[in-house]
Structure 1
Amino acid sequence: MSHKAVILGNNYYIGLSAIRSLGKEGVHTVAMDYSEEDRYGAASKYCNEKIIVPHYQKETEKFIEALIDYAKKQEKKPVLIPCHDTYLEVIDAHLHEIKKYYLIPQTEQGLATKVMNKDTLHELAVKHGVRVPETVRIHEPNFKQRVEEEIKFPCLVKPFDSPTFVRVFRKKIFKVYNMQELEEALEQAKQANLEVFVQRIIPGFDDHMYTFDAYLNQESKVTHWTTCQKLRQYPINFGASVYTIQKYTPKLFEIGSNFLEGINYKGFAEIEFKKDEETGEFYLIEINARITNFNHLLYKVGLNFPYITYREMIGEPLEPKAVTETTNRAFWYGYEDLLAVKGYVQTGQLKIGEVVKSLFRPKAYAIWSIRDPKPAIAFTKHRVGKLLGGRKRG
Structure 2
Amino acid sequence: MGGPVARNAVSVPFAADRDVPGLIVKFGDYPLHHGGVGAIRSLGRLGVPMYAITEDPYTPAASSRFLERAFVWPTRGTEDAGRLVEGLLRIGRRIGRPAVLVPTDEEAAVLIAEHQDELAGPFLFPRVAPGLPRRLASKQGLHELCVEHGIATPEAAFPRTYDEIVAFADKARFPVVAKNLEAFVRRSRPAVGGTTRIDTREGLLALARDWGERPGVILQEYLPREDAEDWIVHAYFDRDATPLALFTGVKVRSWPPHAGMTANAYVVDNPELADLAARFIKQIGFSGIIDLDLRFDRRDGQYKLLDFNPRMGAQFRLFENESGVDVVRAMHLDLTGRHVPEGEQRAGHRFVVENIDLPALLAYRRSGYTTPHAPARASGTELAWFAGDDPLPFVTMLARFVRPGARHLYQLWRTNRRGAVRRGAVR
Query: Which has the larger share of helix?
Result: 1
Deviation at residue 162 of structure 1 after TM alignment = 1.1
Match of 2:304 among 280, 283, 297: 283
- Tell me what 2:21 maps to: 4
Letter of the structure 2 residue corresponding to residue 197 of structure 1: I
- Tell me what 2:65 maps to: 45
Higher mean displacement: 18-27 or 93-102: 93-102
CA shift in 2, pair 1:162/1:388, >3 Å: closer
2:337 maps to 1:294? no
Q: Contact 1:157 / 1:198 at 8 angstroms: preserved in 2?
A: yes
TM superposition score normalised by structure 2: 0.81
CA shift in 2, pair 1:219/1:372, >3 Å: same
Offset from partner CA, 1:277-300 (integer Å, 9 cap, x none): 222211111111111121121137
Cα RMSD of the aligned pairs, angstroms, is 3.0
2:326 maps to 1:309? no
- Tell me what 2:413 maps to: none
Match of 2:364 among 323, 335, 344: 344
Offset from partner CA, 1:76-111 (integer Å, 9 cap, x none): 311111112233233334333222321111332121
Match of 1:378 among 379, 392, 396: 396
2-structure distance, mates of 1:171, 1:341? 21
Deviation at residue 205 of structure 1 after TM alignment = 4.2
Match of 2:347 among 315, 327, 335: 327
1-structure distance, mates of 2:308, 2:406? 37
CA shift in 2, pair 1:186/1:100, >3 Å: farther
Match of 2:122 among 80, 89, 101: 101
Q: Contact 2:248 / 2:273 at 8 angstroms: preserved in 1?
A: yes
Offset from partner CA, 1:144-195 (integer Å, 9 cap, x none): 555554x41111112221133687458322211111111123233337x651
SS of the residue aligned with 1:272? Answer: strand
1-structure distance, mates of 2:159, 2:84? 36
2-structure distance, mates of 1:300, 1:221? 17
Q: Contact 1:19 / 1:46 at 8 angstroms: preserved in 2?
A: yes
Deviation at residue 308 of structure 1 after TM alignment = 1.0
CA shift in 2, pair 1:295/1:206, >3 Å: farther
Letter of the structure 2 residue corresponding to residue 31 of structure 1: A
1-structure distance, mates of 2:293, 2:108? 20
Deviation at residue 47 of structure 1 after TM alignment = 0.8
Q: Contact 2:350 / 2:378 at 8 angstroms: preserved in 1?
A: no
How many residue pairs match? The answer is: 382
- Tell me what 1:189 maps to: 211
2-structure distance, mates of 1:298, 1:137? 34
Unaligned runs of 5+ in 1: none
Higher mean displacement: 250-259 or 194-203: 194-203
TM superposition score normalised by structure 1: 0.87
Q: Contact 1:166 / 1:172 at 8 angstroms: preserved in 2?
A: no
Letter of the structure 2 residue corresponding to residue 126 of structure 1: V
Match of 1:238 among 246, 259, 272: 259
Match of 2:201 among 179, 204, 211: 179
Deviation at residue 210 of structure 1 after TM alignment = 0.5
CA shift in 2, pair 1:289/1:24, >3 Å: same
1-structure distance, mates of 2:157, 2:82? 37
CA shift in 2, pair 1:358/1:85, >3 Å: farther
- Tell me what 1:28 maps to: 49
2-structure distance, mates of 1:334, 1:75? 36
Moved over 4 A (4+): 139-149, 165-170, 357-361, 387-390
SS of the residue aligned with 2:338? Answer: coil
- Tell me what 2:423 maps to: none
Q: Contact 1:204 / 1:277 at 8 angstroms: preserved in 2?
A: no
SS of the residue aligned with 1:67? Answer: helix
Q: Contact 2:234 / 2:316 at 8 angstroms: preserved in 1?
A: no
1-structure distance, mates of 2:104, 2:71? 15
Offset from partner CA, 1:122-142 (integer Å, 9 cap, x none): 111111110110112224997
Q: Contact 1:213 / 1:226 at 8 angstroms: preserved in 2?
A: yes
